[in-house]
Amino acid sequence: MMLWWCHLGEGNLAESARLIPHAIEQDIHAYALIFNITQALCWETAQQIEPIKREKYSVNSVYALKLASSLVICWLRTVPTELDRLIASLVELIGQTLEMIRPNRNFPRRHAIGGAQRPRKAYR
């Protein structure tokens, strides 16, 4: 996102208008890539949990996704021979933050058949 912001500051509006959609598309693809890498690490972490513990706990994927930006920076700076050690340490770190599975945590909404009722106004 920083790349297209620098182009906007140059004052060339025609070139900036052409680069903005491309930059947005690149951001979307980057977020999708980070999400997929994070989910792969979460799956690997879930496979390492004992089966009895896996019934009650799941991997905290929100925490893993929060680590995603530092994960990419570490991968860019890491020597390829140390990449396996880095992935193993990340899987271990993600495995330390498990969340309890809470079944039947959905509650039906209470409203008329015609749809949800509008809330009352707090002011008059």
Give the model confidence (pLDDT) of 42-88 as tens digits: 999 999 999 898 889 999 988 898 887 777 777 777 777 777 888 88
The four Cα atoms 115, 120, 121, 124 give a dihedral, to 10 degrees, of 130
What number of other Cβ atoms are within 10 A of residue 68's Cβ?
16
**pTM, two decimal places:** 0.64
Using CA atoms, how far apart are residues 123 and 105, in angstroms rounded to an integer?
33
